Copies of this chain bind each other. A is one copy, B any other.
Amino acid sequence: MRFVVIGGDAAGMSAASRAKRNDRTLEVVVLEQTNDVSYSACGMPYNIADPARPVEDLVVRRAEVFRKEQNIDLRLGHRAQTLDRAERTVSGTTVGGEPFQVDYDKLLIATGARAIRLTAPGADLPGVMTLKSLEDARRIKDYLNRHPVRSVLIVGMGYIGLEMAEAFHERGVKVELVKRRPSTLPWAPEGMADLVKSELEAKGARLRFATRVSGITEDDGCLKVTFDSGDQTVVDMILVAVGIMPNSEIAADAGLELGPSRAIAVDRSLRTTDPDIFAAGDCADAFNVITGQRVWVPLALRANRAGWAVADNVTGKSVELPGIVGTAVFKVFDLQVARTGLSLDEAQGAGFAPVNTYVKTRSRAHAHPGNQTLHVALVADRGSGRLLGAQMVGKEGVAHRIDAVAVALHAGMTVAEFTQCDMAYAPPFSPVWDPLLTAGNQLLKALG
């Protein structure tokens, strides 16, 4: 029995490793188009921030280890291009231009996603970069090392854009950011978005909202950028961080069903519409536990978890994943920003009658030194009283606190049930009523 995996990052290598651990007799072939496997993509901004750290620090396990210690047939530089479901083959070309073809019994498509590029004239000039793969990280780091980069324009303010703003700042590069939408956090109350804006500006970043890059030209070794608004700026480098799109073409071409954002549609066992073909990682969708709807939220934990579940299902177990609630956290300089579940707008869109509350509380007990303001918003459904989501911003106590709400969402708790939870209290860590409970108590009042 041969299990073929297309793509050797989080989902693919998790699946390959676990499948081998589950069943040593299984033949496992991994086709990876680059020369990198198993690296911490989310760590790239922090690595780029530090000129002294080699990019290779981000590699969690080297190709040789998978091959020698796990007996995985890992083929680097193999770009899979065509999937023949009738013949059960995957074929493609190596970096050397050689064609190849592999038979499979079970197949996992873990092709990931790619960065969306700008379409404006000049978007392909040298110095205009994206950050999705380890190769991208090397390219950015090399560029920073080889050029006197004093200024950068970051296009987009998603978490990659914001984390890279900090990374460039750390390296002494002056940062400008531009976003097509009018707010830093479109899914959070305005007060929270304003906090992020103020934090970026306090660190010297120049922000532009509600405009797009309409053209880029080279200008005396620099990049001259023109915006829709007519504004112009001149920078040494541009990072395009306007989002990613799933690498689902090989699946679509083979007639497999796609879900939201053209991600590959999978059921709770990670099977595509072909029961012998699985998909996992950034190329695949998931069920939202709260709405039951298909969503595409490409994040690392889901990729790893889905990889494991595929391995189990390929090796004779029967595993179903309930899905995700959309929990995420990121750091913007001194701020922690987190969300889980639905925003007010998303809840409305999913057919709930949402009610929300937005409280600003202290991060520590009454009169305790070092207190910070913590912003907490909760969303609930008026009819059922069910908790639907949370958003949080603050200088401390955000990153792990959000998980308490995530667990409550998985459990389908009402706000009333959530506010009865026995949470930890000590003066250095929270007020007696944890900020989540204070927000929950407010929301209970709003629910009436």
Contacts and interface: CB of A to CB of B under 8 A. Distances in A.
A407 B399 contact: no
Nearest to A39: B366
A420 interface: yes
A427 interface: yes
B430 A325 contact: no
Given A422-B325, A424-B340, A429 B301 contact: no
A222 to B, nearest CB: 32
A299 B325 CA distance: 32
Contact of A407 (B301, B322, B418): B418
Nearest to A10: B432
Interface in A397-447: 397, 399-404, 406-408, 410-411, 413, 417-418, 420-430, 432-434, 436-437
Interface residues of A, number: 69
A321 interface: yes
A301 B433 contact: yes
Number of copies: 2
B43 A427 contact: yes
B424 A327 contact: yes
B411 A404 contact: no
Contacts of A432: 10, 40, 42, 300-301, 304
Interface string A357-385: 00000000111110000000000000000
Nearest to A367: B57
Contacts of A338: 424
Q: Which of A42, A368, A403, A413 has the most CB of B within 10 A?
A: A403
Interface string A327-339: 1111100001010
A65 interface: no
A396 to B, nearest CB: 9
A244 interface: no
Nearest to A337: B426
A215 to B, nearest CB: 34
A234 B402 CA distance: 48
A423 B403 contact: yes
A116 interface: no
A406 B413 CA distance: 13
Interface string A166-181: 0000000000000000
Interface string A287-323: 0010000000001111011000000000000000111
A29 interface: no
A431 B325 CA distance: 19
A402 B368 CA distance: 21
Contacts of A322: 417, 420
Interface of A: 10, 40, 42-43, 46-47, 50, 53, 57-58, 60, 159, 289, 299-302, 304-305, 321-331, 336, 338, 340, 365-369, 397, 399-404, 406-408, 410-411, 413, 417-418, 420-430, 432-434, 436-437
25 contacts: A43-B366, A43-B427, A50-B369, A53-B367, A60-B366, A299-B425, A300-B432, A301-B425, A301-B432, A324-B422, A325-B421, A327-B423, A330-B426, A331-B426, A331-B429, A336-B429, A340-B422, A399-B400, A400-B430, A401-B403, A403-B404, A403-B424, A403-B434, A407-B418, A408-B411
